[in-house]
Homo-oligomer: A and B are copies of this chain.
Amino acid sequence: MIICRTINDLKQQLRELRKEGKSVGFVPTMGYLHEGHASLMREAKANNDIAVLSIFVNPMQFGPTEDLDRYPRDEERDTALAEQCGIDIVFLPTVQEMYPHKPLTSVMVSSITTRLCGASRPGHFDGVGLVVSKLFHLVQPDRAYFGMKDAQQVAVIEQLVQDLNFDLEIVPCPTVREPDGLALSSRNVYLSAEQRAQAVVLSQSLTLAEEWIREPGMTARRLLDRVKDHIKGAKDAVIDYVELLKFPSLEEIAATERTDQLNGSVILAMAVKFGTTRLIDNSLYQPTGGVSHV
């Protein structure tokens, strides 16, 4: 496994491989890798000749009051896990390498970014759009792998790729969970033991909603109320948002709309704070049947 810390080094390594006609699978991450990332890395390696991982905590996607400074890092463990998963090249740039000057260019996706985390974290998806565009140009992958835990990110990046004709395929991969259902996240390490025990309400409510959404006569408002009530059963849970939207357009569903008659894919997405730690989770449903996005 080769570790590249500079853009020039990365480009040189990739140039050689591309000359040989090798296909490239790419997993962009912010590091502190867990089994969710591992599933992406294995998928990238299984379906491409070469698997590239990037680890870069992108300051542009953090708000001024967010957790950039305390975002967890562990380069040694990350590279060991990457090697186990068959990664060929790890790109590990510094902030200076990625942003030698303040960028004047912005890459913004409208509409899809106005709700959910886009509303709670202003500018977050502009930072994601910028760094993903840069990384796609640096790695030039055939396929890029993203976890569906960040479903809105997947929708934003798919739109970006389509609108700008990026020559690659976005491969969304299922959320990986702890045995009790908690979605894996680098931020889970922030949780106290008590918060960790309570955090199971997110995935529990998503599983319960799978039944509720199909109940004859169920409406969006009543479904969301039930989900919120379930989450509030955890005494330290503070709801940021719980929303039911069309997927992948993230268009609104009226409060009075009957969920048991919804066509196509819908997403139930939530962000819940435990103390200073903000967790997100989501699930896709096809209330009237059909095939899931992932």
Contact = CB atoms under 8 A, between A and B. Distances in A.
A101 B110 CA distance: 14
A interface, size bucket: 20 to 34
Nearest to A134: B165
Given A19-B21, A21-B19, A137 B104 contact: no
Contacts of A163: 103-105, 130, 134
Interface in A151-172: 159-160, 162-167
B106 A105 contact: no
Contacts of A137: 164-167
A7 interface: yes
A4 interface: no
Contacts of A129: 105
Interface centre among A104, A138, A167 (most CB of B within 10 A): A104
Nearest to A133: B164
A154 B110 CA distance: 26
8 contacts: A101-B162, A104-B111, A104-B163, A105-B164, A134-B163, A134-B164, A137-B165, A137-B166
A103 B162 CA distance: 9
Nearest to A110: B104
A104 B167 CA distance: 18
A167 B139 CA distance: 10
Nearest to A105: B163
Contact of A104 (B7, B19, B140, B159): B159
A112 interface: yes
B104 A112 contact: yes
Contacts of A7: 165
Interface in A246-275: none
A281 B140 CA distance: 37
Nearest to A111: B104
Nearest to A138: B165
Closest 4 pairs between A and B when the two form their complex, measured CB to CB = A105-B163, A103-B163, A137-B165, A134-B165
A119 to B, nearest CB: 16
Interface in A1-32: 7, 11, 19, 21
A105 B130 CA distance: 11
Contacts of A138: 165, 167
B110 A107 contact: no
A164 B21 contact: no
A24 to B, nearest CB: 13
A108 interface: yes
A234 interface: no
A10 to B, nearest CB: 10
A167 B110 contact: no
A166 to B, nearest CB: 5
Interface in A167-225: 167
Contacts of A112: 104
